[in-house]
Every structure is written in C-alpha cells, then in structure tokens.
Chain A
Amino acid sequence: MRLFIYLFVITALACANAVSSDPIKPLPIAVEYDRKKAELGRALFMDPNLSADRSVACVSCHSFDHGGADPRPVSIGSHGNKGVVNAPTVYNSYFNFRQFWNGRAKDLKEQAKGPLHNPAEMGMVPEEIERYLRGSDFYTEAFRKIYGRAPTHDDALDAIAEFEKALITPNCKFDRFLRKETKLSKLEYRGYKLFKTLGCATCHNGINVGGNSFQKMGLIFQYPWREGLPDRYDITNSPADKNVYKVPTLRNIELTAPYFHDGSVKTLELALKKMAYHNLGFDLSAEEIEALVAFLKTLTGETPRIIGESR
C-alpha cells in the first residue's frame, strides 16, 4: 500500500518535471581539459611505436576519418592479429558510464591499458612502453615539462585519456534542435518521434544517446551468440547476461559503420531492421526506416577541435 502512495506522489511530481524533458541531452560545446597533456596524449594516440611491431597506433582502429571508430568489422592489431569485436568510437567516449563493450573499464585511463596490452591489439607491456618513451628526446622533454619526471606508463595513460576527453563532437543538428537553435525536417522529426515510440529511446538516451546502461541484444528473437565475445556474460557468467552489452552511442552513427559489436552490418538501414527484428520482434516499414535514418543522421556533430587543429 505504502508503495502505491509513494508511487503515486512521485509520479505526480515526476510528470510535472519531465513533460518538457527529452530523453536525450545535448553535448557541451566544449569540455575542460589540460591542453598540454591532451596534446601529448594526441602524439601518443597517433604513435605506432606503442605497438609491439610498430605497425598500429590507437588511431589505427579509432580513425578520425570514420567517426573515431574502425571501418573494418573487427580491428586488426599488431602482427596482423584480428580482434573479435568492432572497435567502438572514441568520440564522446568520455560520457560513457563504463568503457568497452561490456563496460569492464571504469574510465578512459583504465580503458587505454586494454588495447595497449592486449596481445591481439598493440601487445605492449608497461616496461616496453616506458623504455620506448624514455628513449625518445621528444617524449622525455614533454613528460618532464608536464609531469616533472621521466615518462612513466601511468602518465602516458593519463595523457591519452586527457586527449580522448577532448574528443567531443558538439553542435550536431539534433543538439541544436534540443537547444532550440534549429528545427528538424519533417522526416527527421518523425524519425525522432518513432525513435521514442518504438522504444529505441528506452535504451538509447542521455547525453551520448546510449552508453549509459547494459542491454540485451535479441530480446524477442535471439541474436546469435558464441563463447569469447566480450559481453556481460564474459564477466558475470550469468546466463541472463549472454549478449548483454553496453548500449553503444548513436552519435555520429552515420560515420561509424559497420555496426553492432561484431561489425556485421554495413548500413544504417540494415542495422535498424535487425534491431527491430531482434528487440521488437517486428519489421519496420520502409517509411519508418527512412525517417529513423534521417533522424540518426542529425546526430553527426563537428569534428573534435583538437583534431581539426592538428591538421
């Protein structure tokens, strides 16, 4: 009984509160970050010497030409090693509640360790990284200036994380719509409404249009599952967590093909169809897909300034 009254009161309050609020929030125009650290981080981010065979850098799989993501279905690391999942975009990743597909890293700094040390990716150990950095006059000088000591593994991660923090894509059309600076086209607006009514927004919400909860791929019709994929089950071993992933961001989605954790889908249309089938149990009409795609394209923001400057 008490629960009901509680519910009722809270609901009444919440309604008044939430009427005008959209489930999506615009990105800030800029974030505060340490400029010098970020610039050092950028150099590290682009440096293939941080991989075992000096063939890949962070940027190899988080391409600035592909919305901070990897255009290949799965990433290819040093010595040509293939990964198991598609690299998620590094853009706006600062706003994700956890990092990686299954959220095993709590922040960017922790995340940066993953690919650096993963034998299938860059395959380095901290000592190797430090040895390399200390052997370089540029890094020795830069680290001394910023951190007041010789380069360390931890400081390198810190610099990379600071750079990634700066990788935001503000002022997408939809953000400007949210800020009432512009209007959406009819099609786009219809897409937004469908996005909400079809239930997309229940998972894809917040500042990153996703990235703030774990959800199951294949609620209605099961999505193929195999052992070894980095889903929640990989961490919890609870059967209910099979195919449960961190909801990916939909920002810059038109740039970050291929889609899904396995990079199995090349186009937005197909991705929408697949999501509708597996999680709604129904097919979207062509008009619905058209509208949703139009809406999704309004989520493409500006290239992060720190990249623009470097070019």
Chain B
Amino acid sequence: MRRLILKTTAALIAALIGIVLIIYQQSYLKSSFHDTEKIGDSFRALHTDYIALQRIVLQASYFPYFDNDTILSQIEKIRERLDGLYKERRLQRAVYSETRSELQSAKRDFEGLAKTIYEFLTLNASLKNSTVYLPTLALKAYEIFDIHSEHDRQVTVLLSKINETLFLAKNALDKSFLEEVKEYKKELEELKKEVSENDKRRLLQASIGHLDLFLKIFPKFREDLEEILDLKFQKELESAIGLFSEESKMEMGHINTLSDLFLTLYLISILVVIYFIFRSEKENIELKRVRDQLRKSLVTDHLTGLENREAYVVKKRMMAHPALILVNIDRFKHINEFYGSKTGDAVLQKSAEILKEIVPKYLKAHIYRLGGDDFGILYEFKSRERTESVIRQILKHFQEKTLDIEGILVDISISIGASYNDKLLETADMALKIVKSSKRLRYTIYDPSMDLSKTIARNIRALKQLKQAIAKGDIIPYFQPIIDLGDGSLNKYEALARMRTQSGEILGPAHFLDAAKEAKLSGEITAAILRRTLNIAEKCNMTFSVNISAGDIMNIYDRNTIFELLETHRGCSSRIVFEIVESEDIKDYDILGEFIGRIREFGCEIAIDDFGSGYSNFEKLLQLQVDILKIDGSLIKELDTNEHAALVVQTIVDFAKAAGFKTVAEYVHSKNVLDKVRSLEVDFAQGFYLGKPSPILQCEPQRDND
C-alpha cells in the first residue's frame, strides 16, 4: 500500500511538473513575444519621432518665424521614449546587454543633439533676425538714400545684392557665399566712410552689424543643422534595433532550448505514468488470475470436481427461491469399510458424474458435494411437482445401480431428502433422515410438521447438561418416605434421581431422562443414585428402593456396575429394593431373570414399578419372582373419585395377595386417597400427602401414632 501511494505520488508529481513547466513555458513565450513586439514598436516609434524632429528643425530653419514649442515637445517625447526603452523590464536581462549599452550611448548622443538643437534655436533666431531685417533695412535705404546720387545708388544696389546673396546662402546652406558677403561687407564699410548724415550712417551701421552677425553665426548654424540632420543618431537607433533583434533571437534560442527541455521532461513524466499504469495493470491481471484460482480451489471439492459447501452457501444467498435436493449414498460407510476408501472415493466420483449427467439442463441446477456422501442439487424452485419428477428421475437412475470400479462391482442405492423451505440444508437433511430411518421411503420432501429441530436443540442442551452433571457428581438422590400401612411405621424410602444444575437448581427426571435414555446414559444415572443410596444405607438403617430401567439391566456394562456396587456394600445391600418398570423394553426375560437371581444373592428385593399402567404379563411376573408391586400412580390418584380405578386396584391387590407380593400405592396426595388405599388393604403408601422427596431423611424407624 505504501509502495502504491509512493508510486502514485511520484507519477502525479511528474505529471504536475510537466504541466507546470509547459504552462510556465507558454506564459513565458507569450510574454516574450509580447515584450519583444512592444520593444520593437517602441524602437520604430522612436525612429519615426526622430525623423519628425529633424523635419521640424528644418521647418524652423526655413520659416521666418516658427513655434519653438513644437521642437521642444518633440525633444521631450523622444527623451521619454528613450528613457522608457532603457528602463524596459525585459531589456534588464543579461542577454540584452549590447542593446542596452547601445541605447545608453544613443541616450547620451541624443542629449548632445538636444543641446545642439537648443543652440540651433538661438542661432536660428539671430540669423532669421538678420535675414528678415536686412531686406527691411534695404527698403528703408530707398527712403533715406538719394538714388540719383551715384554713391547712394551704389549703396542701395549693394544692399540688394547682399540680400540676394544672404537669401541664397541661407536657403542653400552654402558656405561659399560667405566670401561674397565678406566682400560686400567691406564695400559697405568703404561706402559708409563717405556718408556723413546721421540717419544714413545708422542704417549702414545696422546693416553692417547684421552682416557681421550673419558671418559670425552662419558657419556654426550650418554646422549645427548638419549635425541635427545627420544620420548618425538614426544609424545608432538602427544599430540598437538590429542588436535587439539579434539578442531577442538569442533569447528565443534559449527559450526554445528550455522549451525542448520542458517537452522532454513532460514526455518523460507521461512515460513514467504510462509505465506505472502498465505495471499496475499487469499486476492486476496476475492478481485476478491468482484470486480466481484461489476462489475456485476454495469452492471446489477436489475429489469430485463439484463445487463444495462454501460455494453452495454463496450461491444460495443469491437465489430468490432456492430448492435443494439432497442425495445420500446408502450405507456408504459400509462401502468404505468393505472395499476401502479408494473405492469409496471412486464411488463418490462416479456418483458425481452420474448426477451431473442426469440432472436436467432446464433446471439450471448447481451440483455440490455438501458432505462425505451427501450431494446437493440447488436450483430455483418452480413447483413441487417438478421437484418430485426430478427426484424420481434421479432415483430411477440409481435404482439397483452397479458401479464398475476397476473391475470391482459395487452395488449402490441412494436416499433423497429435498426442501424448498428456509434453512434449506437443515430441512432437506431432516427430510433425508426421515427417509433413512424408514424402511419404506426412498425420498421425501420436507414438510414443517417434520420439524424436529426444536426437540433436537433441547435434547442437545439437556444432554450437554446431563453429561456435565454426571461428570461432576451432580446426579443426586432425593428420598421420599414409604409408609407401612399395617402399623403406620416408616422404614422405607424411594431414592429418586435429581440433577443439580450449575446454578444450583434441582431438576426432576422429566428434564433429563429422555436424553439419558437416548444417549445411553441412564445406566450411569442408575449407578450414581445406587452408589449414593448405598453410602447412605450404610449409616441409615432403612430400606431404600432404587429405580432401574430394563435398558440398564440389558446392558452388560451397567449390570456389572450394579453388581460391583452391591458387592462393595455387602453390609447394606440387602436393604436395597430395585424398582423395574414393566415395559416393552424387556426384550430378554432370561437376562432379567438372571439379573434378579444375582441381586437376590445380595438380599435385594424386586419391585415392579408403575404396575397396572400398561399391559402386564402376569405369567412372566410370577416367573420372575418379584417381591413388590408398585401400583401405577395414575390409578391411585383417582381412587377417591374413580370407581373403575378402585376396581382395578382391588384386583391388583387381590392378585398380589394371592401371589404373595406386597403392594405399594404411589401418588397418595390426600387423606381421602390414603383412607381408600387403607380400605383396599394396600401394604405401603407414598405420596406428597405422606412426604415429599427430600435430600434429608429420617434414619430411626418411626411409628405412626394413629
């Protein structure tokens, strides 16, 4: 699990890095293109602005008057552009060092240029001042000078020539005219010498002053203008543009290298992811195969190849109305013992094959091996009829079937129990058990009336409790007094079996006797009661009657246990009376006779318990030489009300007297009954009226005072 998380994280990180790199690269490229474009635009705008500045300067030089603000604002504009470019974020990168240094020198040069332009503006104004004002002076000369005078005419002509030359010189920016201007100036100075009038002298002085100014300023003006119109700065700009484009290409190269790297990384990350997916898928397939195999082996019975009980449980849960036919091979234990388990296994395999073959396909049934020799056929229930017909088909196939197992011919037959109730397997098994215990039935379908499950559960519980009680010595005798009706004395007790539970509760035999008989434990109970009673009889000089079943007597082991007990308590064994219930269980009267013969040797007496309840074989009784008849309680307790019962008891008493048997009346529960018993001349009586069973008993013989 940790490895999986690690791998997933690694793959995710790889993918994430790839994505981040690509996004970064994209945004980087985008901003690069954007910046490059912006910077390129700025350069182009700068170039345009510069050319515009040159044009404006030319205009300023050409027009007699001009708004200098336009030049100044253009200079400011270019200055800001240069500053903006120089401070451009992108250009701060190392790769643009040359562009930057070129820009810096351009900035420096532009400042020089601006200075030149300021100077130009000063010179330009002065020059224009003169070029505008000299013609004005020439015009004034016509007013002041007399054109009829040769000298004055020369002055006016000279002034006109001067104006023409100055115009040419200035507009053509031609230095070669300066020599002429100088000549004219000299001439003008010569002519001035001959002038005496004040106003004429002033005019000539002003003109000479302007000429002087022109001569002084013009070369510098020309120089400045040429410098301004020179292409040096323009070339510098072009070079900066060139450098920028080169350096930006270089940067793009870096970006592309970076981008290739990113792409490679991204591809690697994808490959890593694919590798992990491939790996995990492969592992998954392998795991799935192993899991399927494991599951199959878990749910398959290896011997027959059928599915096993686990599979049955799973499948049944998924069905809406499941029905189960339980097929059991009769006397399989016997086959196994007789032919060996190898043959037994082969029988099972063959039976499985036959079942697979003969179960109709339309049933869409699943066949399981549910236990040793139990096969289950599970399918969706449709009708009882269908189930019965399938069962009959199966039975028909197996009827008188002889399997050939490697030459050994084995006869097999089967029993079938089926059910479509809840607790499918249990109920089908119950049905099967009924078939098994019957000689006639070959199959049966479960019916709720068969439900023995509750009894079984109770029996199992009682049996468990009983076994525990026997083991712990919790089977104890309670003693009920038996009164001699002749003299009213008490010198007999009946020892009644009681079971002490773990919680200390005392239970009567009704709670455990059936279980004891079923589990063949009644002999042990008898022995336990006998042992305790004998121990008490040793100390207590009374007669004790102990119940013993025909089953106990028939069992040689139990019989011997009783003999041994009597043997070890020789001293008191003669005071023991064995009460035997006369019943169908007495199968062998010889054994009974023999048993009675043995115990007589110990001095024990024999009583027939519950006499008159069933059919009694008087002849056998006589043969057995019993001593006491205990008249059945159901007759006694009705004595005072039921005339018929009294008649029966009377008959029994008469018979006993004739035969020499003593009689005991049980269940004497009232004075009326006791009186009746007395009047019928029964010898002894016991019952709740006379004394309840108790663990404590009176050891001294007592006489009834009445």
Q: A: which residues have CB within 8 A of B?
A: 3-4, 6-7, 10-11, 13-14, 17-18, 21-25, 95, 97, 196-199, 201-203, 205-208, 212-216, 219-221, 244, 279-283
Contacts and interface: CB of A to CB of B under 8 A. Distances in A.
Name the prevailing secondary structure of the A interface residues: mixed
Which of the listed residues A4, A25, A203, A207 has the most CB atoms from chain B within 10 Å of its own CB? A203
Nearest to A201: B65
Given A216-B126, A282-B202, A205 B68 contact: yes
A206 B64 contact: no
B209 A281 contact: yes
Contacts of A281: 133, 137, 205-207, 209-210
A43 to B, nearest CB: 31
Interface string B40-68: 00000000000000010011001111111
B591 interface: no
Interface in B212-227: 213, 226
A212 B136 contact: no
A151 B70 CA distance: 38
Given A4-B172, A13-B55, A216 B122 contact: yes
10 contacts: A7-B173, A10-B58, A197-B132, A199-B64, A202-B65, A220-B210, A281-B133, A281-B137, A281-B205, A282-B202
A18 B229 contact: no
Contacts of A13: 55
B136 A198 contact: yes
Interface in B385-403: none
B124 interface: yes
Contact of A196 (B65, B203, B207): B65
B68 A213 contact: yes
Nearest to A200: B65
Interface in B117-152: 118, 121-122, 124-126, 128-130, 132-133, 136-137, 140
Interface residues of B, number: 39
Contacts of B128: 199, 202
B212 to A, nearest CB: 8
Given A10-B59, A97-B72, A213-B68, A202 B124 contact: yes
A191 to B, nearest CB: 15
Given A212-B69, A220-B209, A280 B133 contact: yes
A212 B68 CA distance: 6
Name the prevailing secondary structure of the B interface residues: helix
B125 A23 contact: no
A308 to B, nearest CB: 27
A17 B126 CA distance: 24
Interface in B591-617: none
Contact of A214 (B65, B122, B172, B229): B122
Contact of B67 (A3, A197, A206): A206
Contacts of A14: 55, 58-59, 62-63
Contacts of A25: 67, 69
A23 B71 CA distance: 12
A205 B66 contact: yes
Contacts of A212: 68-69, 72, 121
Interface of B: 55, 58-59, 62-70, 72, 118, 121-122, 124-126, 128-130, 132-133, 136-137, 140, 172-173, 202-203, 205-207, 209-210, 213, 226, 229
B122 A215 contact: yes
A17 to B, nearest CB: 7
A11 B396 CA distance: 130
Which of the listed residues A13, A22, A206, A221 has the most CB atoms from chain B within 10 Å of its own CB? A206
A23 B132 contact: no
Nearest to A279: B129
A13 B54 CA distance: 13
Contacts of A207: 67, 69
A213 B75 CA distance: 13
A206 B69 contact: yes
Nearest 6 CB-CB pairings of A with B: A281-B206, A206-B69, A201-B65, A220-B209, A213-B121, A14-B59
Contacts of A220: 206, 209-210, 213
Which of the listed residues B62, B68, B126, B213 has the most CB atoms from chain A within 10 Å of its own CB? B68
Contacts of A95: 69
Contact of B229 (A6, A205, A208): A6
Which of the listed residues B69, B126, B205, B226 has the most CB atoms from chain A within 10 Å of its own CB? B69
Nearest to B126: A219
Contacts of A203: 125, 129
Nearest to B209: A220
A23 B67 contact: yes
Given A3-B229, A14-B58, A199 B63 contact: no
A13 B55 CA distance: 9
Which of the listed residues B64, B128, B129, B210 has the most CB atoms from chain A within 10 Å of its own CB? B129
Contacts of B59: 10, 14, 17-18
A21 B67 contact: yes
Nearest to B69: A206
B213 A219 contact: yes
Given A3-B226, A25-B69, 6 more contacts: A6-B229, A14-B58, A18-B66, A22-B67, A202-B64, A206-B67
Nearest to A95: B69
A192 to B, nearest CB: 11
Contacts of B130: 219
Contacts of B122: 213-216, 244
